[in-house]
Amino acid sequence: MEDGSTLVSKYRLGDLGALATLVHKYTKPVYNFVYRFGNSTDADDITQETFIKVWKYLNRYDTAKPFAPWLFQIASRTCIDWFRKKKDITFSDLDPQDSDKTFAENIQDDSALPDDLFIQQEYKTIIDTALAKLPPLYRAVMTLRYMEGYDIDEIATILEKPAETIKSQHHRALQMLKKQIKTLHP
């Protein structure tokens, strides 16, 4: 599959299908980021708002630079703007509103044995619960690092912070997670 920069270039040359491919390729990663950044109730709307902004500002994107950091920077700003407008947000809701299952229960690895699944499920629940208790910025750093696979410099670009600040926030988030996990699973 083509990278984001190539798809943007094709779209600029008139290939409307390139935009559809771009949205299809990046919707799930953006949704996952947005979902973990804030709460599940608004994740669909924020993801949609992110892609509207991407489309609106595609002419400003520099195709010589990686696409994903630019995209996640827009997603991050959109989340922050959304939550500023909506003061009553709780930042610890990782469970889908329309389901009895927790977020971790919705993730399954069909190739694992049932015992392994049970243990994985328990760990995921503990980690999700601990992650939900982190402040939103720390949660964003951890999500971008471990779930989206970005390095510290890329996260710094996305969140528009110095790399040293991101390193500190990453370290603090790890320490907070360790404390949370110890209280949840002594």
Q: Which helix (H) or strand (E) holds 33?
A: helix 16-37
Quote the pLDDT of residue 100. 58
Contact 5, 70 (CB under 8 A): no
The CATH code for residues 1-92 is 1.10.1740.10
CB atoms within 10 A of CB 98: 6
| Helices and strands per DSSP (H, E), number in the chain | 8, 0
Q: How confident is the model at residue 163 (pLDDT cuts 50, 70, 90)?
A: very high
Mean pLDDT confidence for 118-135 = 75
**Distance set, CA 135 to CA 46, 90, 138, 142, 162 (Å):** 19, 11, 6, 11, 19
Q: Whole-prediction pTM value? A: 0.56
Cα 173 to Cα 183: distance, rounded to the nearest angstrom: 15
Q: Which residue has the higher pLDDT, 83 or 14?
A: 14
What does the chain come to in residues?
186
Closest residue by Cα to residue 76 from 163, 155, 153: 155
